[in-house]
Structure 1
């Protein structure tokens, strides 16, 4: 079946094609709008350590910076060892039972979080300039 025969058989009018084309093009509009709002990859970032909602420590995440370790120990003896390596951060050791926070691995993009629910520990990466997120496509 040829295209002209298909058009005649389907009773499509010229305006139908214009409407379909407009809908297809407008479906890509969110990509254009939200893609233009991304912050650059080299923006300065920091990781904020919160325990039970209270800010405990802030770590600057700078590419090329020498790695460091930070040990958080709660009043009741719960321990999380946090490792910072340049512009990324992770919980390398924890004495919680499920170890989900350790298996989470490295976080480096704005908006990413690492959570240890048993210890109520949250590490969130934020841009210093106040931007909210990087491109978070997984």
Structure 2
């Protein structure tokens, strides 16, 4: 049976096939549009925000392959924390607090990670520009 004979015997009219095919193609338009939009917004920045007693003191940009450097925060009482930034990660390298828990926490590199030194009321929080983790997939 030929295609034209099938259409004549069925309830489909000649333009119905063209309309159905067009609707199927249009249904994929959001995938194409949002896919192009994601590639245009692929640049995600990551930064660590240093806060002491709730006040923002400094912002560190975190990126892969960056050189290692340290920043020393010292308050008015002489208490200090040495913060190290390296290759998209940040940590509290040294502190003069008694418990040293902040030093033992290690590196932070993912969105939402925090490092806290309670005796000095110091908090380091990592944030990304789009709120996602590296390598996370959002559908």
TM-score w.r.t. the length of structure 1 is: 0.64
Partner in structure 2 of residue 112 of structure 1: 113
How has the CA–CA distance of structure 1 residues 133 and 63 changed in structure 2, closer, same or farther, with 3 Å as cutoff? closer
Partner in structure 1 of residue 95 of structure 2: 94
1:22-54 CA-to-partner distances (Å, cap 9, x unmatched) read: xxxxxxxxxxxxxxxxxxxx8321000000000
Question: Aligned-pair RMSD on alpha carbons?
Answer: 1.8
User: Which of the two has greater helix per residue?
Assistant: 2
How has the CA–CA distance of structure 1 residues 70 and 99 changed in structure 2, closer, same or farther, with 3 Å as cutoff? same
Residue segments in structure 1 that go unaligned for 5+ positions in a row: 1-41
Query: Bigger relative contact order, structure 1 or 2, given CA contacts below 8 A and separation 6+?
Result: 1
TM-score w.r.t. the length of structure 2 is: 0.63
> Which 4+ stretches in 1 moved above 2 angstroms?
132-135
Aligned residue-pair number: 94
